[in-house]
Structure 1
């Protein structure tokens, strides 16, 4: 067949449609383009929107933990009853969410946690080198900081007892350092005296502009010959004789293969094809504080309040919470306002400009591992989605691995843990 992408004959043999202009989709698109494919990215939103804009900004190269852990179920009632807690489930959505929630809790066994951690480690540890390869040294220096991260505990008389996270860090040789209240206050003058213990992980870092980082990737994609179309994909179907078609709100596109990288919306495109993958949206919130009176030298992840704080080019971002309510329910503004309460509790003297509140959708699988690779028995259909809380971190390695599989190259690491066939 003659491969086409947005009506143009491919200059390089095979052609590909990538559905989704977030960090993950654009990473895959760049990597496919560098392997000679003619690539068109379809997304109704501008690059750098959605979760690729509103995430915490943290790049966790030296973190490899799934979110479902042993013993977590015992904490759920307390979380749900706490107005400032990290979890809420809308009652009307609970029946629909129950199958996913059950699989999520079942994934919290020691055996599964260690398995998932090994797979996450392969993705996450490549984030800084991967982003440098994708966007180049100048943009890397402008947008990314590999300056560490501190986990923070409050109100402890002694250091937190060793747990499964410490076992996993030891297994991978991840360097960390326990710090006490005096060191915490050296890093963060003005922090509340309730902050008693911290864990410094120097191998982590952050981006000062998550949306800008994604836009830089989009610019690189277009500069290298890719095409970006601002269209909403309505339907996918296999073509007679091979290849795929995508119907959008404006036109139809055809290509030899299609990559679904639409984040939390991915399964809405796959379901009409008879493909069921357990993907749920963990709705997350942030509050952006312009002109804050403090600037953090390193991001903070509160292990007591379950929220993060990260200084960015546009101000101070406070992010976190998980709301299980589906894709269509309106935001619960109180969730974002609670984050501001937490930030001011931790930094009592914090002053700032008018808060900007945001809600977005984390695309999450029950085992915290993304889907990367072919999907089902449909030749030419691929997925790259389900990165949960770590899409910005895992995007470079995910795009590289997917492109290697499509190009029949030897993969840089084992693709089996990310296979859609596990479901």
Structure 2
């Protein structure tokens, strides 16, 4: 069987890497031109087992479990087990905690508002707020993981095409014909895993627009002094962050910039000032000095908010998308790529509307 994956980000790379390890498959990965800046290259790489959405939580916990069990994946990804805090408006659902503990035994502890203040310096939290503290969690480099998987993909005989997808014949239930900047080819299955570019790429090739939106993610790496918390997400304010090296902290807030051009990466000072104000309120013991690096990129958002394989057309066609992680795909990418590979190789392919 011949499978072509389009997209050189973490999602496409891990999917191609999963597939090339199956005997009898010829896998081509179309990555686009070298040096193309994407969300994988600047992702904060927070990884944890807890999520409020049950399916996202399952994928996140499975991904972290695989990462921690594999010395090779830890080395590739530069994983650092720095812990994780997830702060909620109220006590987390017991079912989510049980699921995390099943995957990562002994990892979870619940902290109340007072404990968050004493242990980590969080201030002005809502009265009923609580946090999930995970010992077996932290952060990694999605870009480094991509590089490791790419080298192994090539070593296993995977075909790397470092040009753009230029043309695609509308599939009719048979093989998919395509042309890149380097060659023409055919595939039994094609998966477009181009992140924020997926919608534009497919519509530009004359295919229906997938149910995806783009949104800008903005954050910055600050020189800091004072008390630094571990990697965290604070749902009560939207603030998130993680240590980013000695004396540095990555911090950000969700933006409201929807349906943006995926090639547009404008860093807005007003949004950065809001991050500073929010950090001063929530973490008064942390001093933010001059930003060391600014980050702004677009990500693909799917209605269900997670990375998954989806049929691209309303009839069996052999054409799929694999994107839609909604800004948090890195933490679920290992498990989601495993699920997607299994679905592609199943005897009965998924149809439009079914989700992994």
Asked if 1:406 is matched to 2:344, the reply is yes
**CA offset at residue 384 of structure 1?**
1.2
1:101 corresponds to which residue? none
Within 5 Å, give how 1:215-364 maps onto structure 2.
215-238=147-170, 242-271=174-203, 272-289=205-222, 291-293=223-225, 296=228, 298-313=230-245, 315-328=248-261, 331-334=266-269, 335-345=271-281, 346-364=283-301
1-structure distance, mates of 2:71, 2:260: 31
**CA offset at residue 218 of structure 1?**
2.3
Q: Could you say what secondary structure the match of 2:327 adopts?
A: helix
2-structure distance, mates of 1:295, 1:228: 45
More helix by share: 1
Gaps of 5+ in 2: 102-107
1:382 corresponds to which residue? 320
Within 5 Å, give how 1:111-130 maps onto structure 2.
117=54, 119-130=55-66
1:106 corresponds to which residue? none
2-structure distance, mates of 1:338, 1:258: 42
* Counterparts in 2 of 1:46 and 1:310: CA distance versus 1, 3 Å: farther
Larger relative contact order (C-alpha < 8 A, sep ≥ 6)?
1
How many equivalent pairs are there?
Answer: 339
Q: Could you say what secondary structure the match of 2:191 adopts?
A: strand
Asked if 1:32 is matched to 2:19, the reply is yes
2-structure distance, mates of 1:203, 1:22: 28
2:8 corresponds to which residue? 21
2-structure distance, mates of 1:210, 1:138: 11
Q: Could you say what secondary structure the match of 1:316 adopts?
A: strand
2-structure distance, mates of 1:54, 1:320: 15
Equivalent of residue 166 in structure 1, options 75, 82, 93 = 93
Q: What does the per-residue CA deviation read over 1:317-357, in whole Å, with 9 as the maximum and x for residues that have no partner?
A: 11231333323255251324432443344245525454321
Q: Which moved more, 1:126-135 or 1:222-231?
A: 126-135
Q: TM-score, normalised by structure 1?
A: 0.68
1:367 corresponds to which residue? 304
1-structure distance, mates of 2:274, 2:213: 23
Q: TM-score, normalised by structure 2?
A: 0.80
Q: Which moved more, 1:391-400 or 1:47-56?
A: 47-56
Q: Which moved more, 1:32-41 or 1:128-137?
A: 128-137
Question: Does structure 1 conserve the Cα–Cα contact (< 8 Å) formed by 2:6 and 2:194?
Answer: yes
2-structure distance, mates of 1:208, 1:246: 35
**Root mean square deviation of aligned Cα:** 3.4
Question: Does structure 1 conserve the Cα–Cα contact (< 8 Å) formed by 2:45 and 2:331?
Answer: no
* Counterparts in 2 of 1:42 and 1:294: CA distance versus 1, 3 Å: farther
1-structure distance, mates of 2:143, 2:36: 4
Q: What does the per-residue CA deviation read over 1:79-127, in whole Å, with 9 as the maximum and x for residues that have no partner?
A: xxxxxxxxxxxxxxxxxxxxxxxxxxxxxxxxxxxxxx2x323322211
* Counterparts in 2 of 1:313 and 1:236: CA distance versus 1, 3 Å: farther
Gaps of 5+ in 1: 1-13, 66-116, 154-159
Within 5 Å, give how 1:141-156 maps onto structure 2.
143-152=78-87
Q: Which moved more, 1:227-236 or 1:390-399?
A: 227-236
Question: Does structure 2 conserve the Cα–Cα contact (< 8 Å) formed by 1:62 and 1:204?
Answer: no
